[in-house]
Amino acid sequence: MSLPDKSVIIIAGPTAVGKTSAAISIAKHFGTEVISADSRQCYKELNIGVARPSQEQLQEVPHYFIASHSVQEEVNAVVFEKYALEKVKQIHQQHDTAIMVGGTGLYIRAFTEGLDDIPAVPKETREMINKQYAEKGLSWLQKQVKEMDPLFFQRGEILNPQRLIRALEVFETTGQSILAFRKGEKVSRDFNIIKIALELPKEQLHQNIHFRTEEMIKQGLIEEVQSLNEYKNLNALRTVGYTEIFNYLEHKISLQEAIEQIKINTRQYAKRQMTWFKKDLMYSWFQPADIHNMISFATKQLSHLND
């Protein structure tokens, strides 16, 4: 059986590692376009706090799934899989290669492998759980999941409220663990997939995170969060950088405490991202500045695939 002649190069890695810049360089080399795989940069109302690429960067190379949806829309891995597959098909009409860049591992997995067939959750169930989470916080959510879905609690991301809410929704709807629906069957795509991941020494990554947090404050993160107050209970706003500033604006913590919490929570998120991507042995790892070797590696892979 002959291999497909179209490919997607994935650039993954933790937050603040330098994925955007690397992806733009690689996209320019191959003369192609970029699909973001970031679960927050897709919201048009969010900018500073999600480190959305600058206007200059977006003008260098066409990007998709950037400011493409509203925080009032439900965006999840199912939505992303459909969106990204359509955009790749569109890009492949003009180019042999497309670039995907991002740190949302579940979205990338949905795109490359497909998703498990989990039953739909009634809107009322989702709203009920979200309302209780908003009132009672993360510790309540963890306790509920530990009691109802201990299997997921042992294996899942218990510091990630979105994953916990999802597990609780599925249990409330089906009476079964969300893990019961993970059949482990990968779909086959009609294009080749080359996986590249970026990493830095931990100290350097932490410096990047701290610097970027300070820059976000200087750029107007507080004002951005203030302007989004009417949406603060939506899932899209329950994310690092926004939650902490909402707490500051509600006088629950000081500004300095909010900034420190953003740094700590971002470091913890980056660690979870690294754990996710390191589990996938198909990734080849590079330093973010090593563009030449990334391009060389991708070129060799493409040449091998097309032999």
Q: pLDDT tens-digit profile of 157-179?
A: 777 787 888 889 889 988 888 88
Residue with tokens 């750029």: 219
Q: How confident is the model at residue 1 (pLDDT cuts 50, 70, 90)?
A: very low
Q: Which residues lie closer than 8 Å to 55 by C-beta, 6 or more apart?
A: none
pTM of the model: 0.85
Q: What is the pLDDT of residue 124?
A: 87
Apex CA 188: angle with CA 11 and CA 192, to 5°? 45
**What is the number of other CB atoms lying within 10 angstroms of the CB of residue 22?**
24
In angstroms, the CA 109 to CA 186 distance is 10
Average pLDDT over residues 33-39: 97
Residue 284 burial class via C-beta count within 10 angstroms: exposed 0-12, middle 13-18, buried 19 and up: middle
DSSP state of 119: P
The answer on pLDDT for 224 being more than 70 is yes
- In 156-250, which ranges are continuous DSSP H helix? 161-174, 202-219, 221-227, 243-249
Average pLDDT over residues 106-127: 87
| pLDDT tens digits for range 237-278 | 989 999 999 999 999 999 999 999 999 999 999 999 999 999
Nearest Cα to Cα of residue 61 among 25, 100, 104, 103: 25
For residues 227-242, give the mean pLDDT. 93
